[in-house]
Amino acid sequence: MKQYIIPSILSFFVTLLCGLILWKIRKGKLSLQYDLIESGIFPREVGEGKYFVIKLKNTGDKAIENISLEINFNTGEIETVRFFDSRLLTSVIQDSSKISAILPLLNPKEDLSITITAKGTPSISTPNIIARAVGVTAIPAKEREFSLRSFILFIALIVSIMAIITTYIVINERLNKLPLNIIDTKNSLIEKLKEDTLKLKEQKIEYEKGKPEREDYIFSVLNKTGLGHVYPQLVSPGSEITYRNTGFFLMHLYLISNEINKEKIIKSMESLLEIKEIAPGSRGILLYLLAKMEQFQGNHVKTLEYLRKCEKEAPLMYKHLMSQDPFYDLQNLKKWLLKNWKY
């Protein structure tokens, strides 16, 4: 009994200790982070353009008062600035290369999002972001997230390995007493434990190497097909950028665009479908929307091709979408969008 009771108790105390350490680290601590998304360069009538999405967030568990925020560009000129919640700001001052403001109060988990469009020739620099208050200075979100998440992953890996070892000892102890005709079952369980351990290690390695996430893939697709400038319209407070939402957004954008942009949008949809991580349901929706675009273009062969792929790869989603198909009138939708949706 001692052979597997001791590791079990040890695993429990390690987990408890890790939880206490993390709680102690974060308890009552001021924490301010910012995230920056930068588009590729897109052409303008005069010169070049770029947009930047900045999110400043209170990631601690205490309110932060009187935050001084400063954003400045070494090269390039600020054209437009949009604050998603201007009520958080006072004393906003803006010129061609600098924005400064005061945030009187930022509660825990509260954030401020800013979208900036800049223009310039020959280059537009990445902005310098400084946000400070008494006892805290903002740091890039990825640095903080990497530190905490890596620590948590590392501890979780240790605890998981200890639990796996304990389970292995228990199984080995008990299965050794069973008849020989179930040895194969024992071996398959051991193999499964080895596979699970390997997967945990691979996930940790992928994270530490900075594996791209869904938003990175979507931004890359839009940028490569010349639609990087529409990415800010996908970014809004409290919403998640998903493959499905991106597909619906591109479909609506397609209906109000000129022929040149229509081709770019179709290429974007095709490129999205090359991403292996997309779930079957989302792939079905993207294939259906791409088929509707080709139908609107008059390409009936491609329309049929994408509908067949949708039916094959996501039969349940295909059945649902086709039951709604008669109500998805692109001509009427186009008229409504041209009247009501500004782009």
Q: pLDDT by residue (tens digit) across 46-79?
A: 778 888 999 999 888 888 999 999 999 988 888 8
Q: Are 72 and 125 in contact (CB under 8 A)?
A: no
Question: Quick one: pLDDT band at residue 240, thresholds 50, 70, 90?
Answer: confident
Q: Are 101 and 89 in contact (CB under 8 A)?
A: yes
Residue 237 carries which DSSP code? Answer: T
Mean per-residue pLDDT, 283-290: 92
The pairs formed by 225-229 with CB atoms below 8 angstroms and a separation of 24 or more are: 225/264, 225/265, 225/267, 225/268, 225/271, 226/42, 226/264, 227/261, 227/264, 227/265, 227/268, 228/39, 228/40, 228/42, 229/39, 229/42, 229/49, 229/51
Q: Which residue has the higher pLDDT, 123 or 80?
A: 80
Mean per-residue pLDDT, 137-163: 67
Mean per-residue pLDDT, 204-223: 76
Q: What is the pLDDT of residue 10?
A: 61
The helix or strand, by DSSP H or E, that contains position 168, with its residue range, turns out to be helix 141-175
Q: Report the distance separating Cα 53 and Cα 234, nearest Å.
A: 11
Q: Report the distance separating Cα 51 and Cα 44, nearest Å.
A: 12
Reported as a single tens digit per residue, the pLDDT across 255-273 is 888 888 899 999 999 999 9
Reported as a single tens digit per residue, the pLDDT across 2-47 is 455 565 566 666 666 666 665 555 556 788 999 888 888 877 777 7
Q: Report the distance separating Cα 233 and Cα 245, nearest Å.
A: 11
Reported as a single tens digit per residue, the pLDDT across 90-135 is 888 989 889 999 999 989 888 888 999 888 877 888 899 999 999 8
**Per-residue pLDDT for 203 more than 70?**
no
Q: What is the pLDDT of residue 7?
A: 58
